[in-house]
A and B are shown apart, each in its own frame.
Chain A
Amino acid sequence: MAQAVAMVSDRAGKMRKLYGTLASGVSGLAALTIVVIVGIMVVSIVGGGYKNFTWEFLTQAPEEGMTKGGIYPAIIGTVFMTLLMSFMAVPLGTITAIYLSEFAKPNSAFARTIRFAVNTLASIPSIVFGLFGLGFFIQFVGKGIDDVFSPGVLQWGQPNILWASMTMGLLTLPVVIVSVEEAIRTVPRDLRDASLALGATRLQTIWKIVIPGSMSGILTGMILAISRGAGEVAPILFTGAAFFLPQIPHALTSQFMHLGYHIYVLSTQSANVDKTIPLQYTTTMVLLILTFTLNISAVILRSRLRNKLK
């Protein structure tokens, strides 16, 4: 009897072990697949692009119908657009995050509405932002400005870097809000209480204790927003990105070249797709390097922040 019981439990134990190995094996394989996919993507893009990755490529304008030359205007255009975008998205996002975590009562209808709006904003497809930019910024605001200040002259009522940046700023707003709010939450309640108990007003507490304490989170939000803005193409397809523009943008009303849009144009819209494949690889590599650098620094900053919390 005892032996039989032992055997049964032994067999059950073996089965259990088998299932365990199977479960961890299958899930591990899934994780491995993802890692391998990422590896293949990085390797094939870098493998195809490193040969052309030269100083000249980074500092020259495209030539001969974009089949030769570099991507200088695209890099500068991307940088200008993301900077302009973060001038709008970062302060606005930080202020909204401060409102949500410091002013709003957590269960008030207003705060819940805004929180829901932020979540929705984060899930709206980027192309819809593009449509919005076209319908609101260009057709409504831009045309409105033109009608008032310079009737008959199309100046603001057409795609340009300002409208593209504002569209992109709206897209990256939730990114900023979420990371700043997370950072604000790491500022201990004790410190706020201490400041208030000393007779500081709410605003003084925020300005002197909360914001300095969440600086790294604000920075993280900014970096993530820039990374997102540098990589997104759909919102600027018809709000300001230019097919080909050898000079860098000189005014808010000028169009601009963008790395991501340049990749799209070269690989699907240009006259010589095959000829430019090496250029496409290198442009993609440059964009990847840009977003990776930004993302990795955000990850490092954020993990520091989390350690601080512990």
Chain B
Amino acid sequence: MEKPQDISPGIKTSVRMPTEPHVVYETKVSTKGLDLFYGAKQALSNVSLDIPAKRVTAFIGPSGCGKSTYLRTLNRMNDTIPGCKVTGEVTVDGINIYDPKLDVVELRKRVGMVFQKSNPFPKSIWENVAYGPKILGEKNKQKLNEIVERSLRQAAIWEETKDRLHHSALGLSGGQQQRVCIARALATNPEVLLMDEPASALDPISTAKIEELIFQLKRDYTIIIVTHNMQQAARVSDLTAFFYIGELIEVGDTRDMFTNPKKKQTEDYITGRFG
């Protein structure tokens, strides 16, 4: 069990798990009154949520409910979509990331992302994993080798790839590719790791490996995962947030929420009446 951590001065809110009311977690990411528009269409309305550090938070909900969109606001990947407008407050470590003075590149160095579809660069495995550190300015080949090995080990794919580091990453299987992508995201040493349905395109064995991996990673990283697989959310997450049509309906301790949902819509979704 982890000890309650000190709340650093910049942090205004904290999270208490209903099942562990005595534990106060450090809030890593926090949103207040977030609205998001694609052109005239509102995709998220009034989302307020605190996400604890070094825990796994899962977003669930039917497809099109805005959970992936919300995830992408957390490292400002929505900036690349034309016509996308965000209002409200999103803070990481107490810093508003939509502040015009914020350097988005600095943010993304700290908030990494793994995408739904595995998307390794058409380069060697080594090049893929070393891409981030190189971009950040690491030139020492020895250091890079260390980082690559560490990241691949963390992503539980070192054993499978150590003999073919300089082969193309596109030659790997889907599950392996996805783990290389996770290793690539880990290589820049992020604080938060966003995962957008990382196992949705994978077979059960690869999925199990990824879930195992997530469980390992939460010791060092704040993990936020989007999934529409409720069993997966139940297996890997500490905290679950349920989204429905652009709104955050309910958030709470995962076991609590799956056994005793407070809202009707959550219950309907969890028991499989829709979605």
Contacts and interface: CB of A to CB of B under 8 A. Distances in A.
Please say whether the chains A and B touch (CB closer than 8 A).
yes
B112 A197 contact: yes
Contacts of A208: 131, 135
B35 to A, nearest CB: 22
B117 interface: yes
A194 B119 contact: yes
A58 to B, nearest CB: 41
5 contacts: A191-B121, A199-B105, A199-B188, A204-B135, A209-B121
Q: How large is the interface on B (under 10, 10 to 19, 20 to 34, 35 or more residues)?
A: 20 to 34
Given A193-B80, A208-B131, A198 B108 contact: yes
A140 B229 CA distance: 69
Given A198-B185, A199-B132, A204-B135, A191 B119 contact: yes
Given A194-B121, A197-B113, A105 B82 contact: yes
A193 B119 contact: yes
Interface string B113-141: 10101010110000000011001100000
Interface string A195-231: 1111111001000110001000000000000000000
Given A192-B80, A193-B77, A193-B80, A198 B112 contact: yes
Interface of B: 75, 77, 80, 82, 105-106, 108-109, 112-113, 115, 117, 119, 121-122, 131-132, 135-136, 181, 184-185, 188
Contacts of B109: 198-199
A197 B131 contact: no
A288 B131 CA distance: 46
Interface of A: 105-107, 188, 190-201, 204, 208-209, 213
Nearest to B109: A199
B82 A197 contact: no
A197 B135 contact: no
B112 A196 contact: no
Contacts of A197: 75, 77, 108, 112-113, 115, 185
